[in-house]
Amino acid sequence: MEVDRTDGRTPNQRRPVACTPRILHRAHGSASWTQGKPEREYEMVLKKTLQSICLLNVHPNTTTSIVIQVVNDDGALLPCAINAACAALVDAGIPLKHLAVAICCCMAECGHIFLDPSKIEEQKVKAFVCLVFPNSMVSVLPQGSLRSGGELMEHGIITSVTHGMMAVDDYLRCLKLGRAAAAELSDLSRSSLKLKAGNDPSKAAITRLKTFMTANGNIYIYIYHYLSGLPIFKILFFQIYP
């Protein structure tokens, strides 16, 4: 029995990802924002996830402030924010160990698992999982040197946040599916970020205040990275409710 999805996607199909760095320079107008409880939790998850991929000791005594503004929430908000924040960090020139690739898997009542739910689908499912994997590492070292205890580095999860009840085996199935999707997504982001990298050698300058905006469909990200004398890493996450 196949799960019918309203937008005609197959269970394993993600929605298309559009990642465009530096397209907007309009002023950030007035925005009404609420800091309800879900925002605090997302902030903590984002902070711990992004902190683990940034190499902050390359530039010591700097403040890295990441502001994430949600304009439209159509489901899978946390993975979208993580993917967008990663692209923004690359764009800002902050040294990273590897990218973080996030995907959302959900389980319907009938037991079928599918990817990247929309808002309506998210409310109807029994459980969903947000998984973040490191992107696959291309290495010049001989094959097998990136394995840890028999498992590839990119199969380890950085972050997992679940919502709703499921059997342990269902969670492991979600992991498998998520891993496959993350591998595909990581190749996509690597190629798209390479294209946009361009020839801008001034990215590493940290003495000036820099603002970058990345639009990933429904999320805007600003990153401020400046010499402040204090090593601070903070995330501010807010949603605009129309």
Partner 1 sequence: MGGSANGATDLSSEMEVDAFRRLFPLRFHERHLVESVRPDARPLGKSRETSLALGAVGSADGSALAKIGCTTMLAAIKMEVMTPATEAPDEGCVAIDFHMPAICSPIVRPGRPAEAAPVVSKQLSDTILSSGMIDLKQLSLVSGKAAWMAYLDIYCLDADGALFDAALLAAAAAFSHLQIPVVSLNDDGRIVVVSKQNEGEKLKNKPVNEEKRKLKLRSIPFALTCILHKNYILADPTAEEESIMETLITIVLDSSCQLVSLYKPGGPAFAFESVVQDCIALSRQRVRELQTILNEAISDMEVD
**Which positions touch partner 1 (CB under 8 A)?**
37-38, 40-41, 44-45, 47-52, 127, 129, 132, 134, 148-151, 153, 155-168, 170-172, 175
* Bridge partner residues of 237 (DSSP): 68
Q: What is the DSSP letter of 54?
A: B
User: Smallest gap, in angstroms, from Cβ of residue 213 to partner 1?
Assistant: 24
Instruction: Give Cβ neighbours of residue 83 (< 8 Å, ≥ 6 apart).
Output: 17, 19, 100, 101, 102, 185, 189, 216
User: Smallest gap, in angstroms, from Cβ of residue 242 to partner 1?
Assistant: 23
Find, among 88, 100, 113, 38, the residue nearest to 222 by Cα: 88
Look at residue 202 and give its three-state secondary structure. helix
Nearer to partner 1, 99 or 213 (CB): 99
User: Smallest gap, in angstroms, from Cβ of residue 17 to partner 1?
Assistant: 21
Nearer to partner 1, 127 or 215 (CB): 127
Phi, psi of 153 (to 5 degrees): -55, -40
Nearer to partner 1, 73 or 203 (CB): 73
Nearer to partner 1, 96 or 175 (CB): 175
User: Smallest gap, in angstroms, from Cβ of residue 178 to partner 1?
Assistant: 11
**Cβ 99 vs Cβ 53: under 8 Å:** yes
User: Smallest gap, in angstroms, from Cβ of residue 217 to partner 1?
Assistant: 23
Nearer to partner 1, 104 or 213 (CB): 104
Burial class of residue 39, CB neighbours in 10 A (0-12, 13-18, 19+): middle
